[in-house]
Structure 1
């Protein structure tokens, strides 16, 4: 029987340090970590590895429920996988969650519903803020990450797209999109 931890933050600017410390303090011998959005389980390789790693009798631990999943469906799928493997599930900061009891499973479902609701509210607030900023002329959008002018200049000098991508340290698809914009605009 071992304690296995999972830590997640949404963006590269955030740190996993606090979660890592809490999981290690709780006795986790192995901690899986990643910087990915929690709105889906797609592309969360460390989560998949953690779910494959755990064995019967282990306990899978997260610091907070929203670090594991942001939707009831994803949470239920993950907990069902753990249950099928006879792995217990524990949330450090929400101690009433114990998937071995009916009360704990009810609490899990209720907290998952609140987490999903909170995500939906955050998306709505963000969309409202962007809409208001656009109406006031303050929203400029994300700064371009591809130097389009440089791509076009190199291409006009006869440099092939693959070489442009290598020189500018960008993907070839980005080069083709920049060149396609030239044709469109």
Structure 2
């Protein structure tokens, strides 16, 4: 059984065409048996979310060949490309990238390229973490509130504390204010143990049950 050659192209807008990418592949000496294109798909979209790329993966058989003009046709960033190539490698699919001089990513040189991609992916992750942390520090310094906005007003929270101190249960307060029990506990007992136990080691649910019992609920 002869092995087919697949080509894949992508452009960001529908006004663009992938025909130049196909011509580039054919001019490099590859006779494309099956051609798949994603048009109007941003380069920021993961390969696994590109409809025609997914269709191509369903069609191509183990051991066949995939040719693309550029490395970014295989994913949105280094990590995504690496994930895609590893998936293809598991199926013994030969991946040719013309941008890299018709490099077969399964060859020794290709594997070296994958090692470099892995390093780049790790660097991208580290930079993202650094940018996120820097953004949080800056936002905090500027006095911005982080996280989701509260569903209750300061006055409601004070009212909640008073009712809780007077013996109203966490469950009842949650129903009254339309919030979760965890949110109520964060207001009335912010120093509670995050594991769901009170400061005395008794489960919060048991404390709540005991309150209902004492009130004849």
- TM-score in same-fold range (> 0.5): yes
State how far apart, in whole Å, the 2-side matches of 1:44 and 1:37 are: 9
User: Matches of residues 63-142 of structure 1 in structure 2 within 5 Å?
Assistant: 63-95=69-101, 97-110=103-116
Aligned partner of 2:33 in structure 1 is: 29
Distance 1:86 1:18, change over 3 A: same
> TM-score, with normalisation over the residues of structure 2?
0.48
Q: How many residues align?
A: 119
**Gaps spanning 5+ residues in structure 2: where?**
128-217
Q: Which one of the candidate residues 18, 21, 24 is aligned to 2:20?
A: 18
1:56 paired to 2:62: yes
Query: Per the alignment, do residues 93 and 30 of structure 1 end up closer, same or farther by CA in structure 2, a change over 3 Å counting?
Result: same
Name the SS of the counterpart of 2:49 in structure 1.
coil
Which structure has more relative contact order (CA 8 Å, sep 6+)? It is: 1
Structure-1-length-normalised TM-score: 0.55
Larger Rg: 2
Can you list the C-alpha shifts for 1:152-184, whole angstroms capped at 9, x where unaligned? Answer: xxxxxxxxxxxxxxxxxxxxxxxxxxxxxxxxx
Q: Which runs of 5+ in 1 are unaligned?
A: 121-185
Structure 1 residue 71 displacement after superposition: 1.0
SS at match of 1:49: helix
- Aligned with 1:93: secondary structure? helix
CA distance in 2 between counterparts of 1:37 and 1:52 reads: 21
Root-mean-square deviation (CA, aligned residues, Å) is 2.8
Q: Distance in 1 between matches of 2:102 and 2:6?
A: 19
Distance between the aligned counterparts of 1:7 and 1:48, measured in 2? 13
Q: Counterparts of 1:54 and 1:83 in 2: how far apart (Å)?
A: 13
The CA deviation at 1:23 is: 2.9
